Amino acid sequence: MAVKRLAIILAAALTAGSALSPPAHAAAGYLCLLGTAVQTGEQYTLSSTTCTGSGLSDVPVIVRGGQAAGNYRCQRARLEPLGGDFRASGCTRV
């Protein structure tokens, strides 16, 4: 009888532990169809109006076409929800 109770207590503890773990989140980042880049030293400032994604700092940005086509890692990024304007700064090519 004691073994059965112990098994029930352990099963309840394991179930409660997994229920308390935080939910998985999608990784932050942006995908832009077209973009432009201004280079200052080794860093770039990106802009576009054809991006989707999320994240504010240390985010990957993929620009598929245009003058800025390539993969970047940006220190700061912002997508304006109303106008769709995207700006990212402190970007380096990866």
Answer whether 0.85 is exceeded by the pTM.
Answer: no
Per-residue pLDDT tens over the stretch 64-74? 999 999 999 99
* More reliable by pLDDT, 1 or 92: 92
Per-residue pLDDT tens over the stretch 8-64? 554 554 444 444 445 555 679 999 999 999 999 999 999 999 999 999 999 999 999
pLDDT, residue 9, reads: 52
- Report CA-CA distances (Å) from 16 to 13, 43, 55: 5, 47, 31
Cβ proximity of 73 and 60 under 8 Å: yes
* More reliable by pLDDT, 7 or 5: 5
- Residue 59's nearest CA partner among 45, 38, 76 is 76
Q: What's the distance, CA 91 to chain centroid?
A: 15
